[in-house]
Structure 1
Amino acid sequence: MSVNDQDATVNGRTTPDAPDWWIYRGTGRPIHDIDLAQILPAPPPWRSYRGDPPPEHDVPPPDDGEAERRLGTAFTLSEQDVDAGELNMVNAALYLRRPLLVTGNPGTGKSSLAYRIARELGLGRVQAAATEQAQTGEEAEEPPIGDFVRLGPLGTAFLPGRLPRVLLIDELDKSEADLPNDLLSIFEDGEFTIEELARARNCHPEVTVHTADPQRTAIVRDGRIACRAFPVIIMTSNGEREFPPAFLRRCLQLRIENPDHDQLAAIVASHLVGEDGEHRDSLIREFADRSKAEGGLPTDRLLDAVYLATSGAYQPDQEAWPRLVDALWQRLAVR
């Protein structure tokens, strides 16, 4: 396909044919028989990093089941179900090696984006760092060295590797006030120092430490963690806080809008394989209308309602069912 191909109208939405430069297509469907390290262009000179060579057997750790829980088991999303602006920004982040700050209403799938990228591009287990874990990138106790040092998700994601790791920093606006500033130098330099190991580097220039990957270790030299492939970093925010301009300058920004009817139907089909029926379609339409009227409802509440309906709780001639749906679909706010 060419970037200049004619746009197509699918399900009422105008969707461009996939440009040639897109690597990530947004479906979450694994792309087999490709080597991302071979097809991803070299980074810009100002985003090129030269950490230690990756280990000889550098294989991404397998997903621990979290992607399936987040995304479902079926691959029902097509490129027409994903906003072209979202695909542009994700692919730009891949090409430019820039963190992606993702905003949107609660429940619109901001954090799921990290798992979709990892599953589609074969990048293995997502490093999901709570905001307090992202503060330093490591969790360290006093020496003895090695056995008592464990890298957190951020530190693990910045270890040198042939392929980039996917790092999710969820709900950044709920972090401590100085976290965005603390991340500035890491995002700019692609490296940081573990002070406990740096102080001991004359006696212990190489130390084997535990990582956030189950049953895995890594060698840290001179107390320094330095990446070779800059991680795919997804940071989510509900828009409850402003971030420093210097931090925003180092990020690309993407806003995820509330899903429409067709996108909701694809999400439901991904999670509830084989479930069909008139009441399911009716629930999707009702949820889409109510979400639009109330400024956005979490998508997982629709999944809850469909699951209950297909489990036998749905009784069209009873008043209890509408009351249950009303309770499930209340906005996430204290009234």
Structure 2
Amino acid sequence: MTDNGSAWHIYRGEGQQHTDFDRLPPPPPWREFDGEIIATGDEPRHPVRDARPGTAIRAETYRPERSVVEKVNAALYLRRPLLVTGQPGTGKSTLASSIAWELGLGPVLSWSITSRSNLQDSLYRYDAVGRLQDANLRRLSPDAGPPTTSAGPFITLGPLGTALVARDKPRVLLVDEFDKGDIDLANDLLNILEEGQFTIPELVREEGAEPVALTTEDGDTVLVRGGHVRTRAFPIIIITSNGERVFPRAFLRRCQEVTIPLPGEEKLKEIVRTQLGADTLAATEQLCVDFTTARDAAGGLPTDLLLNAAYLYTAGGDGDDGKRMMAGSLIREARSGQS
């Protein structure tokens, strides 16, 4: 891809998978990491797949604006998180799936933020109660064998911890709806985003140099030595925000910022065509026009509302007047609710 000065693009956002990630140059010296990659030689315990149904088709049909593609590539080169803002329904979360799908980086790891989210749980969870119960069970059952001496079987890496495990190629991590988090969460992340490492004290206290097997967020097994998790290929972190909070400057300095604009009428038609096909677009062009008008009057409507209406309009054939009226009413009612 060499037109318009885009030969440097690794991520293109054109709905085609490719191997151009291998062209990504080494990171800048201040973003080099040297985590040890310890191969387990085992298959994942469970099939590792995207948690949300329909992720692949959304990723394949996603068409970001050129400004978004530029910022994604800047984040890839600089090994920095991408802070993505925009109104609900503009495709902020889908951007993460699109990057992972196009570059062949595996399923997206997801950390959905709530008011109770904290850094510790995103890194790892230690089941101290489970370990105590296991020890008691083994003492009461002679055939069960001696108590487990390592904390490893009772530790599960969280989504951020899983993303930071040393690999040849990075995982994609979606940190969704960051606005919902505690006000201190952005500051808590500063060192992790800068250093790309963390320590598991429960494992540091154990003697021996042999790596310990840990279960990851998505059911895989990884090896960690000495209780230290240090990345090698810095993860591709997509942090989404609805723009409802002002984040600390130190946090913003560690991110590449991009705003996904509301799609115009022609972009909406392209979305309908890629998601539902050319025949559906031909039958619902006026619906796209009506949606654009209603969205602008209401100050914003999610794009998936248009997709729902277009699907309903043509599902099972487009000859049912009642069904077509219902599809149109979805948009009118949504506009009334936003007004």
Judge same fold: TM > 0.5, yes or no. Answer: yes
Q: Distance in 2 between matches of 1:147 and 1:318?
A: 56
Query: Equivalent residue for 1:22?
Result: 9
| Equivalenced residues, count | 312
Distance 1:116 1:318 in 2: 32
Q: Which one has the largest radius of gyration?
A: 2
Post-superposition offset of 1:118: 0.4
Distance verdict in 2 for CA 1:162–1:188, change over 3 Å: same
The structure with the greater share of residues assigned to helix is 2
Q: CA deviation at 1:35?
A: 5.9
Change (3 A) 1:59 1:330: farther
Asked whether the equivalents of residues 63 and 126 of structure 1 are also in contact (C-alpha less than 8 Å), the reply is no
Equivalent residue of 1:129, what SS? strand
Sequence identity, in percent? 43
Say if 1:153 and 1:330 are closer, same or farther in 2 by CA, change over 3 A.
farther
Matches within 5 A, 1:1-335: 17=4, 19-31=6-18, 34=19, 36=21, 38-53=22-37, 55=39, 64-65=49-50, 69-70=54-55, 72=57, 75=60, 82-131=64-113, 135-136=119-120, 137-142=123-128, 143=131, 145-198=151-204, 200-202=205-207, 206-214=211-219, 216-273=220-277, 275-276=279-280, 278-311=282-315, 315=321, 322-329=328-335
- Contact 2:38/2:222, CA 8 A, preserved across alignment: no
CA change 1:240–1:187 in 2 (3 A) is: same
Q: Distance in 2 between matches of 1:101 and 1:320?
A: 37
CA contact (8 A) 1:30 1:121 kept: yes
Query: SS where residue 285 of structure 1 aligns?
Result: helix
Partner Cα distance (2:211, 2:56) in 1: 39
Structure 1: distance between partners of 2:152 and 2:106: 25
* Aligned mates of 1:158, 1:258 — CA distance in 2: 33
In the aligned structure 2, how far is the partner of 1:71 from the partner of 1:288? 27
RMSD: 2.9
Give the counterpart letter for 2:27 in structure 1: P
Q: Distance in 2 between matches of 1:317 and 1:225?
A: 55
What runs of 5+ residues in structure 2 fail to find an aligned partner? Answer: 132-149
Superposed displacement of residue 123, structure 1: 0.5
Of residues 126-135 and 111-120 in structure 1, the stretch that sits farther from structure 2 once superposed is 126-135
Change (3 A) 1:195 1:130: farther
Distance 1:141 1:317 in 2: 52
Q: SS where residue 181 of structure 1 aligns? A: helix
Shift of 1:303: 1.2
Partner amino acid, structure 1, of 2:11: Y
| Counterpart Cα distance in 2 of 1:189 and 1:247 | 13
Shift of 1:259: 1.0
CA contact (8 A) 2:83 2:255 kept: yes
User: Measured at CA, do residues 255 and 222 of structure 1 come closer, stay the same or move farther in structure 2, by a change above 3 Å?
Assistant: same
Instruction: Mark the CA change 1:277 to 1:268 in structure 2 (over 3 Å): closer, same or farther.
Output: closer
- Whether contact under 8 Å (1:133, 1:153) holds in the other structure is no
Asked if the contact 1:67/1:119 (under 8 Å) is kept, the reply is no
Q: Distance in 2 between matches of 1:264 and 1:62?
A: 35
- Cα distance, 1:41–1:276 mapped onto 2, change above 3 Å: same
Contact 2:90 2:261 in 1 (8 A): yes
Partners of 2:79 and 2:236 within 8 A in 1: yes
Q: Match for 2:333: what amino acid?
A: A
Q: What are the ranges of 5 or more consecutive residues in structure 1 without an aligned counterpart?
A: 6-16
SS in 2 for 1:233: strand
In structure 1, C-alpha distance between the alignment counterparts of 2:234 and 2:95, rounded to whole Å: 18
Q: 1:211 to 1:277 in 2, by over 3 A?
A: closer
Equivalent residue for 1:8? none
C-alpha deviation, 1:329, in angstroms: 4.7
Note the alpha carbon deviations across 1:92-147, whole angstroms, 9 max, x for none: 00000000100011111001100000001010110011225662211221145122
TM-score, normalised to structure 1's length? 0.83
Q: Distance in 2 between matches of 1:232 and 1:58?
A: 25
The farther-off stretch of 313-322 and 95-104 is 313-322
- CA shift for structure 1 position 75: 4.7
